[in-house]
Amino acid sequence: MEITAFGPFAGRETIDFDTLNEAGVFLLNGETGSGKTSVLDAICFALYGSGPTTAAKGGRKAQHSDHADPHTGPRVEVEFTAGGRRWHVSRTPAWREPSKRAASGWSDRHATVLLREHAQGEWVERGYRPDDVGQLIHHAVGLDREQFTQVVMLPQGQFARFLQAGSKEREELLEKLFGTDVYAEIQEELKARADDARTELRTAEAEVHRTDELLERFRERLVRARTQLPEAARCHVPGAGTASSGDGVPDDGPLPERHADATATAQSHPSAAEDPGETPRHAGEVSAPENPRAEALQRWSRLTSEGRDLVEEVGHARDRAAAAHTEAQRRVTRLEAMRDVVSRHQILTERRKELARDADRVETTERRLREHAAAQDLQEVLEAARRTAERVVDHEATVSRLRRALAADTDTGRAGREVLESRGDLLDALQEDTAVPDGLHEAAVAARETARSLVDREQALEEDRAEAQRERERIRDLEARTQRAGAELVAAREELAACEQVREELTASTRDEALVRERARTCQQAVTASREYERARILETERARDYERDETARRAAANRVEELETRRYAHAAATLAGELTAGEPCPVCGSTAHPQPATSGSGSEVTAAVLDGARAEREAAQSTVDRSHAVWREAQRAAAEALARGADPDLEAVVERARLAQRAEAELEERLERLSRNVAEIAGARERVVAVEGESHRLGTEAAGARSRAELLEQRCVRERRDVTEQLRGFATATAFLDGAENLVRTVTELEREQRALDAARLEDRAAQEALRRALDASPFQSPQDVADALLESSRAAEWTAWLESRHREQAAVDAELATHDMQRVGRLTPEERGECTQEAVTRAVADSAEREALRDRLTRELGGLQALVADITSCADQVPGHEEAYRRARDRSVRMSGLADVATATSPENSLRMTLTSFVLAAKLEQVAAVASEHLARMSSGRFTLVHTDETRGGGKSGLGLEIDDSWTGARRGTETLSGGESFFTSLALALALADVVRAEAGGRDIDTLFVDEGFGSLDEETLEQVLETLDGLRRDGRVIGVVSHVSEMKQRIDTQLRVVKTPQGSHLEVTAGRWTPA
Q: State residue 101 phi and psi, 5-degree precision.
A: -85, -30
Helix locations, 733-838, DSSP H: 734-777, 784-790, 794-818, 821-827, 831-835
- For the chain, the maximum distance between any two Cα atoms, rounded to a whole number of angstroms, is 178
Q: Would you say how long the chain is, in residues?
A: 1080
- Does residue 432 have a pLDDT over 70? no
Domain-ending residue, one of 905, 933, 949: 905
Query: Can you name the residues that pair with 1072 across neighbouring β-strands?
Result: 1059
- Does residue 358 have a pLDDT over 70? yes
Which residues, at least 6 apart from 320, have a Cβ–Cβ distance to it below 8 Å? 236
For residue 165, what pLDDT is reported? 76
For residue 778, what pLDDT is reported? 78
Q: Is residue 1048 part of a domain?
A: no
The residue-averaged pLDDT of 309-321 equals 83
Q: Please state, in angstroms and rounded to a whole number, the distance separating the CA atoms of residues 990 and 934.
A: 7
Q: What is the pLDDT of residues 945-967, one digit of tens each?
A: 999 988 776 655 555 688 889 98
Same domain for 662 and 525: yes
Task: State whether residue 57 is helix, strand or coil.
Answer: coil
Q: What single-letter amino acid sits at 26?
A: F
Closest CA to 109 of 724, 730, 651: 651
Q: Is residue 482 part of a domain?
A: no
Q: What is the pLDDT of residues 915-934, one digit of tens each?
A: 788 888 888 888 888 998 89
Q: Which helix (H) or strand (E) holds 1060?
A: strand 1058-1062
- Check: CB of residue 6 under 8 Å from CB of residue 92: no
pLDDT class of 407 with cuts at 50, 70, 90: low
Q: Please state, in angstroms and rounded to a whole number, the distance separating the CA atoms of residues 735 and 455.
A: 6
3-state secondary structure 151-184: HCEECCCCCCHHHHCCHHHHHHHHHHHHCCHHHH
Is the C-alpha dihedral spanning 17, 19, 25, 28 positive or negative? negative
State how far the alpha carbon of 779 is from the alpha carbons of 358, 367, 371, 386, 387, in Å.
Answer: 31, 16, 11, 19, 22
Question: What is the per-residue DSSP string for 293-319?
Answer: HHHHHHHHHHHHHHHHHHHHHHHHHHH
- Check: CB of residue 837 under 8 Å from CB of residue 335: yes
3-state secondary structure 394-459: HHHHHHHHHHHHCCCCCHHHHHHHHHHHHHCHHHHHHHHCCCCCCCHHHHHHHHHHHHHHHHHHHH
For residue 289, what pLDDT is reported? 42
Residue 222 CB: number of other CB atoms within 10 A? 20
Strands 85-92, 972-975: pairing is unpaired
Q: Please state, in angstroms and rounded to a whole number, the distance separating the CA atoms of residues 414 and 472.
A: 44
For residue 1069, what pLDDT is reported? 92
Q: What single-letter amino acid sits at 150?
A: Q
Average per-residue pLDDT for the chain? 77
For residue 275, what pLDDT is reported? 39
Q: Please state, in angstroms and rounded to a whole number, the distance separating the CA atoms of residues 196 and 849.
A: 61
Q: Is residue 402 part of a domain?
A: no
Q: What is the pLDDT of residues 880-912, one digit of tens each?
A: 778 778 878 888 888 888 888 888 887 877 777
The residue-averaged pLDDT of 153-182 equals 73
Same domain for 654 and 802: no
Q: Which helix (H) or strand (E) holds 933?
A: helix 917-940
Q: What is the pLDDT of residues 540-592, one digit of tens each?
A: 888 888 888 988 998 898 888 878 877 777 777 676 777 677 777 776 666 67
Q: Is residue 827 part of a domain?
A: yes
- Does residue 239 have a pLDDT over 60? no
- Does residue 261 have a pLDDT over 70? no
Q: What is the pLDDT of residues 98-157, one digit of tens each?
A: 887 777 888 888 899 999 999 888 999 988 899 989 989 988 887 788 778 777 776 655
For residue 12, what pLDDT is reported? 92
Q: Is residue 94 part of a domain?
A: no
Strands 1041-1045, 25-30: pairing is parallel
For residue 692, what pLDDT is reported? 76
Q: What is the pLDDT of residues 470-521, one digit of tens each?
A: 888 888 887 787 887 778 777 777 777 777 777 777 677 666 667 777 777 7
pLDDT class of 15 with cuts at 50, 70, 90: very high
For residue 259, what pLDDT is reported? 38
- Does residue 234 have a pLDDT over 60? no
Range from 118-127, 523-532, 704-713 that averages highest in pLDDT: 118-127
Q: Please state, in angstroms and rounded to a whole number, the distance separating the CA atoms of residues 558 and 621.
A: 9
Closest CA to 1005 of 997, 1016, 1013: 997
Closest CA to 290 of 298, 281, 278, 301: 298
Q: Which region among 598-602, 758-762, 891-895, 1051-1055 has the lowest average model confidence (pLDDT)?
A: 598-602
Which residues, at least 6 apart from 1039, have a Cβ–Cβ distance to it below 8 Å? 1009
Q: Please state, in angstroms and rounded to a whole number, the distance separating the CA atoms of residues 15 and 22.
A: 14
Residue 473 CB: number of other CB atoms within 10 A? 12
Domain-ending residue, one of 648, 666, 684: 666
pLDDT class of 247 with cuts at 50, 70, 90: very low
Which residues, at least 6 apart from 291, have a Cβ–Cβ distance to it below 8 Å? none
Q: What percent of the chain has pLDDT over 90?
A: 6
Q: Please state, in angstroms and rounded to a whole number, the distance separating the CA atoms of residues 200 and 886.
A: 9
Closest CA to 1070 of 3, 21, 72: 3
Q: Is residue 370 part of a domain?
A: no
User: Which is more confidently placed, 1070 or 982?
Assistant: 1070
The residue-averaged pLDDT of 53-59 equals 52
Q: Is residue 231 part of a domain?
A: yes
Rounded to the nearest angstrom, the gap between the alpha carbon of residue 519 and the centroid of all alpha carbons in its chain is 41
Q: Please state, in angstroms and rounded to a whole number, the distance separating the CA atoms of residues 706 and 443.
A: 46
For residue 54, what pLDDT is reported? 55
pLDDT class of 269 with cuts at 50, 70, 90: very low
Task: State whether residue 366 is helix, strand or coil.
Answer: helix
- Does residue 277 have a pLDDT over 60? no
For residue 898, what pLDDT is reported? 87
User: Which is more confidently placed, 502 or 523?
Assistant: 523
- Does residue 161 have a pLDDT over 50? yes
Q: Which helix (H) or strand (E) holds 660?
A: helix 651-725
Distance spanning both ends of the chain, measured CA to CA: 30
Q: Please state, in angstroms and rounded to a whole number, the distance separating the CA atoms of residues 992 and 161.
A: 10
Give helix 167-178 / helix 917-940 axis angle, nearest 10°: 90
Q: Please state, in angstroms and rounded to a whole number, the distance separating the CA atoms of residues 375 and 792.
A: 9
- Check: CB of residue 134 under 8 Å from CB of residue 49: yes
- Check: CB of residue 622 under 8 Å from CB of residue 561: no
Helix locations, 510-650, DSSP H: 513-578, 608-644
Q: Which region among 340-354, 543-557, 845-859, 952-966 has the lowest average model confidence (pLDDT)?
A: 952-966
Strands 95-98, 106-109: pairing is antiparallel
Q: What is the pLDDT of residues 770-804, one digit of tens each?
A: 887 887 777 777 777 777 777 777 888 888 888 88
Q: Is residue 876 part of a domain?
A: yes
User: Which is more confidently placed, 459 or 272?
Assistant: 459
- Does residue 733 have a pLDDT over 70? yes
Q: Report how many domains make up the chain.
A: 2
> Domain range holding 517?
513-578+601-666
Domain-ending residue, one of 628, 648, 666: 666
For residue 831, what pLDDT is reported? 74
CATH (domain of 611): 1.10.287
Q: State residue 973 phi and psi, 5-degree precision.
A: -100, 140
Strands (DSSP E) contained in 99-250 are 106-109, 112-119, 122-127, 153-154
- Check: CB of residue 979 under 8 Å from CB of residue 991: no
Residue 779 CB: number of other CB atoms within 10 A? 15
pLDDT class of 92 with cuts at 50, 70, 90: very high
Q: Please state, in angstroms and rounded to a whole number, the distance separating the CA atoms of residues 793 and 801.
A: 12
- Check: CB of residue 1026 under 8 Å from CB of residue 1080: yes
- Does residue 434 have a pLDDT over 70? no
For residue 950, what pLDDT is reported? 85
Rounded to the nearest angstrom, the gap between the alpha carbon of residue 1071 and the centroid of all alpha carbons in its chain is 57
pLDDT class of 76 with cuts at 50, 70, 90: very high
Rounded to the nearest angstrom, the gap between the alpha carbon of residue 584 and the centroid of all alpha carbons in its chain is 68
Closest CA to 64 of 31, 90, 42, 88: 42
